[in-house]
Amino acid sequence: MAVATRGSAGSSQNYSKLVSTFGPGSTTVTDRAPFVAKDALDKVLFLSVIAIASGAAFAVLRPAPGLMWVALFVALGAGLVGIFRPASAKVCAPIYAVAMGGVLGWVSQFYANGNATVVPMAILGTTGIFFGVLFLYRSGLVRVTNRFMQVTFVATIGLLAMIIAVIFGLKIPYTSQQITYLVVFGVLYLLIAILNLFVDFNFAYMAERAGVSKDGEWFSALSIMFSLVMVYLALLRILGGRR
């Protein structure tokens, strides 16, 4: 299958890294067993359980905000290292799950204080979207073509530009700042996250067909986790309303 020159957060560049680092000709892999997309998805579920447990622990313990900033930087660091050094994803992915789970647990408190149902609904919604997108992709009802990946890339860049604009005080014409936040950080953020999730699933199954080694499953799982975090944050914003 041809790979688009552009893609999502799990972009064609990341796919190229996946193949070059863990492909048949690589000399750095530690497990020569073949990449299995289902096993990569099982790793996503494993990382999700870690993130939920970490979030619950942080929500109960209520650590100081300073510790949350530390956790955020750890999550960002582990995520970046795991993406730019794919061979380290096996270590970085669990670290990312623990740290980002803690941050999400801390953020979720602000929404839970206003409505106790927001957080469980966001978790269930994220789970439903994960399996819904997987079903649509595997059934062929949604086909991830090169054009699909190009559109996802352009939409993601557009969202980043809008986020920067909103941070600097701009708003959608004829709406309030509150509505602008809801549209940009909620609705659009969710749509872009779902598009990215389709692309990430596609690359996982492409990697399986490309003969990538089993080590690459952690890299693929980490990419999918990024999209799931986007989905959860968007649902928090949408379900939390004005909070």
pLDDT value at position 136?
95
* Residue 240 pLDDT > 90: no
Full-model pTM = 0.83
Q: In DSSP terms, which residues pair with 213 in a beta bridge?
A: 34
3 SS3 class:
coil
Query: What is the token pair recorded at 242?
Result: 């004005």
- Give per-residue pLDDT as tens, 183-200: 777 888 999 999 999 999
Q: What Rg do the C-alpha atoms of the chain give, in angstroms?
A: 18
169 SS3 class:
coil
Find, among 97, 53, 58, 54, the residue nearest to 74 by Cα.
97
* Residue 117 pLDDT > 50: yes
What are phi and psi for residue 62, nearest 5 degrees?
50, 65
225 SS3 class:
helix
pLDDT top residue among 96 and 15: 96
Rounded CA separation 55/64 (Å): 14
pLDDT top residue among 210 and 18: 210
